[in-house]
Structure 1
């Protein structure tokens, strides 16, 4: 789904549309994450605690550890040799045909339950640095061994890692800073379109076959920016633009168990610089650079493209 807007009105529109809630709930010190033990029981009963391995695959992000520059979709651990159902997020550009069925995994993360957007002034008043993690944990009243602390460390590590070759990246801690990055990428006077994935009718089954109900609509754009939500006490978007050619589509999907999705999907046309261990290659049974890799953006992501007159 796309929205055509100017820079002047886009800030107001997104403040309403993206995670808008009562202003009293926006106080960032009233963090909604609750302390739980870092075990399976706690993870199952607290949806606010992110599964970092799943998050990386849902958002198609680079997994960057200290001393490592592995590219997107790599696992945080390598002990799983079997096919994880949540790996079913990749498909090929040849699959984009009306009536074709594609197995797709959609996370149950609900954008309406995400932390809240904060202003640039609020964001700038709080350090956003891995070196300041001890201070931040104290600021948000989190123990250093908690799942929340691990999630914050993960996000700060991703944001501070150098970009891969051909990538321009920025972690936006406020809507204003995200728009600044888009302006710097597309040009100060460029109007933009914001694209998202919308679940028109939800399904309880995260993995199911989705049939293409209509001919995919290609969004022709010279550049695109993908902004992915990251686990943090307030909203942080990992925004990046990558060279190598991308084709963007709006796709209408109908699930075999009743799900209906108006999705935004992208096909990365050049994967020659990707990590060979990227699970997309295992799922699609291809090698880096031999074929495009496509995926759907999760519902809490935003894709920015410039409007072409």
Structure 2
């Protein structure tokens, strides 16, 4: 069974940096949502600017893919800031398997040798490291206040969402949508309209993970979060309807979470907001009729 990694989103991009770095033994899932994810040392050089008040020396040394963080005070029409949006194509994204096919393939770190042989990846290859990373994170127990599940099929994802929201609850999904094609990954965007807050008493974020076929790390955290839809206009004319979330309680977050370095804040000192990549899904319940 020969499959390949052909689409690397923000999640996968940051993971490649992380896999080559030495870190602590704590959870390092690259999901931008649970306070235990990207580490601040995961950076490369980039020279770019914006009007968000951050120092140029700091921005010069930041990984471009980390230009997704902001604070609630930025949520206003006319705000201009540099944002990174990965480009994804249905023709190059990992294939989403049907439940029957997905369930026929072992999905556990204990099966890693068999899986590497199945997918024809050498043990020391980048793909093998990514597979090991994904399986390890998916096998971990949830952190305090978290419900998590790695979905290997759309059917299993919908089952997880229905179980958390309630079997009789209707729900919808939000994504970040690029309304005009562009090859630019990082540019300055302006908030074209006042951001629209989405009613979300509970939300489930599903993040893509690097794997030979589509795998989503889905989780829900018990804390105060607010979900928004934001219409953005890029300097090159690109328009993006972005999904974004603000986390208002960061007191339990890892001090090494990269958001604090990007925003110049500390755990519990202020809310942290971020945009979702276009291949991520955010599920929210619909109000009862």
Using structure 2 for the length normalisation, give the TM-score.
0.83
Residue equivalent to 1:69: 27
- Matches of 2:42 and 2:187, distance apart in 1: 25
Distance (Å, rounded) in 1 between the aligned partners of 2:2 and 2:279: 22
Q: In angstroms, what is the RMSD of aligned CA positions?
A: 2.5
Aligned counterpart, 1:37: none
Q: Paired residues, what number?
A: 263
Is the partner of 1:180 in helix, strand or coil? helix
Deviations 1:108-164 (A, max 9, x none): 343542111111111111110111000001111111112111111111111112222
The change in CA–CA distance for 1:51 and 1:271 in structure 2 (over 3 A counts) is: closer
Contact 2:195 2:230 in 1 (8 A): yes
What are the Cα deviations for residues 183-239 of structure 1, in whole angstroms up to 9, with x where unaligned? 111001110011111011133331111111111111111100000111111110000
Q: What is the distance in 2 between the residues matched to 1:31 and 1:56?
A: 19
1:208-247 matches, within 5 Å, as 208-247=187-226
CA change 1:220–1:78 in 2 (3 A) is same
Aligned partner of 2:119 in structure 1 is 140
- Gap runs ≥5 in structure 2: 29-35, 46-57
**What are the within-5 Å matches in structure 2 for residues 161-240 of structure 1?**
161-240=140-219
Counterpart CA distance in 2 for 1:57 and 1:308 is 40
Partner of 2:100: 121
Q: Contact 2:225–2:246 at 8 Å: present in 1 too?
A: yes
Q: What is the CA deviation profile of residues 82-104 of structure 1, one whole-angstrom value per residue up to 9, with x for unaligned ones? A: 32222211001110101111211
Once the two structures are superposed, residues 21-46 of structure 1 have per-residue CA deviations (whole angstroms, 9 ceiling, x without a partner) of xxxxxxxx34244xxxxxxxxxxxxx
Q: Equivalent residue for 1:281?
A: 260
Runs of 5+ consecutive residues of structure 1 not aligned to the other structure: 1-28, 34-46
Equivalent pair of 2:2/2:120 in contact (CA under 8 Å): no
Q: Is the 8 A contact 1:93 1:292 kept in 2?
A: yes
- Give the aligned partner of residue 94 of structure 1: 73
What residue in structure 2 maps to residue 41 of structure 1?
none
Q: Is the 8 A contact 1:103 1:210 kept in 2?
A: yes
Aligned match of 1:149: 128
**CA 1:235–1:66 in structure 2 vs 1: closer, same or farther (change >3 Å)?**
farther
Equivalent position of 2:3 in the other structure: 31
| Offset of residue 72 of structure 1 | 1.7
TM normalised by structure 1 equals 0.78
Whether the aligned pair in 2 keeps the contact of 1:199 and 1:262 (CA below 8 Å) is yes
Query: Over residues 252-291 of structure 1, what are the superposed CA-to-partner deviations in whole Å (9 max), with x where a residue is unaligned?
Result: 0001122210111111111111111111111111111111
- Asked if 2 retains the 8 angstrom alpha-carbon contact of 1:57 and 1:73, the reply is no
Contact 2:179 2:239 in 1 (8 A): yes
Contact 2:9 2:87 in 1 (8 A): no
CA contact (8 A) 1:110 1:300 kept: no
Contact 1:101-1:212 within 8 A present in 2 as well: yes
TM superposition shift of 1:299: 0.6
